[in-house]
A and B are shown apart, each in its own frame.
Chain A
Amino acid sequence: MSASAAVRRGGMNRLDPGGVRHRIAKFSDAHRSTSIVVGMVLFSALIFVLALVPPFSTFLNHQSWLNTFASAGVLVLLALGLNVVVGLAGLLDLGYAAFFAFGAYTYAFAASPFSGNDFPFLPMLFVGAAVAAVFGVLLGAPTLRLRGDYLAIMTLGFGEIVPIVFLNAEPYTQGTNGIGGISRPEILPSWVPFIGGPFGALDNLKYFLLMIVILAVTMVLLYRLQDSRIGRAWTAIREDELAAAASGVNTVTTKLLAFAIGATTAGFAGVYSASKITIVSPNQFYFTVSFTVLAMVVLGGMGNIWGVAFGAFVIYIIQSVFLTYLNTFFQALPIPIISDINFVQYQFLLYGVALVLMMLLRPEGLFPSKRVQRVLHTPEDPSLVAATAGTVDLTAEQELEAERLAAERDLETREALEAAGDAAEEAQGPYEEGALGAPPGSDEETGGHPGELRR
């Protein structure tokens, strides 16, 4: 009553936080793309200024902050892409860094002294993404029939294979040394003030702004995709794959599209990263990257684009700036054991602890999507449960009797069926009763793949 009264009395009462929040929420629902762009601009302006404010300005100088933000953007981009695969479509992908590698190596082949090519950055950004997308589909295709643990293990395998291939294909990739001297981008002509001309090693502002633009565009596109027919199909597959197929969703193409979109985003990140660090080597793409990005997605709040982006940003800043700062801070203190701890080394321990705490205290992540929050925090309505249970009493007695007779009469049959059913599940993969197998109709009569047996 008070809120509506305030609105009626004051008209536009800007001090009423509920009112303003409500109106912002309403606006952002109606104009999602605009609000994302505005949000990104505000956010980038904010962190730009933040780096000048005392506690933060003491950690790093302004240029280093911009550089850190730009690097953080790479991980945010990766987290956004993985969020499509894991958060929306529910396909646990542990080898996501592979697609990052494809993007990076594509640009390394396209613009470095080692390859002798020097193609411009902007077209290569899309070529790199396209290459990653193709590999996303090719590596995704064999995993389509698998679920849960088996899918995770297979993607883990691919994630390990790819950097090792780059490591061993020495004539083409220079192995461990990697490909160095990669060209830096040039987007705008030199006469444009501040942001025109080729990017230099110290042009952190240009890299930062380029990343902000890439991020804003990616977020707008991903939001639109999530709210579309495709996004609904992804969610449906995550919820119940068989029911999705029986509702007319082509689970094969829809899952592949998720892999492709995720890989495309990683491809963008890869090309950008290669052009910024100017060297690609296999050790940038090992499992730790996949794991870090997955941890970011989970901590940020699976399925929520802003949440994942912000979670990834915060985690990157913590690991790259604050842990280093903690080191210097504690080393200065005369405490015997703590001052010897290298916090950066314990980064993954901290991830582990954070993940455990998160799963216990806030399983929906720091910034959950509305849906997940509702799912985890809506209590089951006890009256509904009671109503369902009550129907048993209401069924006519003689029917129960008839059912019982039929059941007794068929007990033998059913026992035989159950025994045979187990054998059948091995041959075909169980479709009803929860456990799901291969995509239906994929007539692999010889079947028997372990991944098809159980969720």
Chain B
Amino acid sequence: MSDASYPDDLLYHPEHDWARVQDGAATFGITWFAQDALGEVVFFEPPDVGSTVTKDEPYTEVESVKAVSDVIAPLSGEIVEVNNGLAENPETINDEPYGKGWLVKVKLSDPDEVSSLLDAAAYRASLI
């Protein structure tokens, strides 16, 4: 597993999700803290492209050997792409939570929601 990290170029939701926002769209994933708490991810089934996600609501699940965990949407919008590679290699979520372990890409329906997210320093502080 990777070492703890919370990149400065991402925004964070208190439920341990991150968003990389660019031009009215965003990539979502779970944070290092979330994957560490969950343990080795053994199953991820991507949600459907075209489905809508709502900020603060669960939009998919990740599963370790021991438990299943809801993933909360940090922002609202429509899923335009999913990381299909994770079905074969779900442990990528542990190895590269901010890189190849991304979960979905979303076209944002309310870009103003971005202002409610935490920056890396605020998220790190919330973990203490």
A is bound by B: no
A interface with B by C-beta (< 8 Å): none
